[in-house]
Amino acid sequence: MARLISSRLWFAQLILRLLPETRCFRFKRSLLCFAGAEVAADTRICSSASVLGSGSLEIGSDTWIGHQVLIVASASVSIGSYVDIGPRVFIGTGSHEIDSEDLRSAGKGVSSPIVIEDGAWIGAGAMIMPGVTIGTKAVVGAGALVRGDVTPRSIVVGVPAREVGTIDDKKDIL
């Protein structure tokens, strides 16, 4: 997986902001590929989505990246095919160790990859933290804080996110 090139990514983000929010998807894809991302030809990315970092980014086929999504890739971010990511979702691979000795509580920086598997749906305002894998066809409810792996076909909600059912359940749980 190729790494993002910060100067090219900066330029791509600048141009993306000038484009219509839900149009010009091929051109947006081309800009992100120019910056080092691997993005499938039929992926749709809103212009207000932002990608930061020098890690790697891979996005599969027929995936939707919604309004004002923020992807911070200090490690690898892999988003599968047929994934829907709602508005204002945060996907971040970096954090800090807690430091009880120094003047700052935020200690040494750490990065861990994030994997979002095929068919997953991430609801508006959700936060996906470092090291998380979202399983195939899993659903993350709006506003959820995901700190651990989400099993395939499960539905998680809340802060912190907890499983409340599966997509095979025939009841309305969201």
Question: What amino acid positions are annotated as catalytic residues?
Answer: 96
Nearest to 133 by CA among 94, 98, 91, 169: 91
| Cα(151)–Cα(138) distance, integer angstroms | 7
Token pair 């499960």 is found at 154
Note whether 12 and 34 are within 8 A (CB): yes
Q: Identify which of 127, 117, 167 has the alpha carbon closest to the alpha carbon of residue 147.
A: 127
What is the token pair recorded at 102?
């120094």
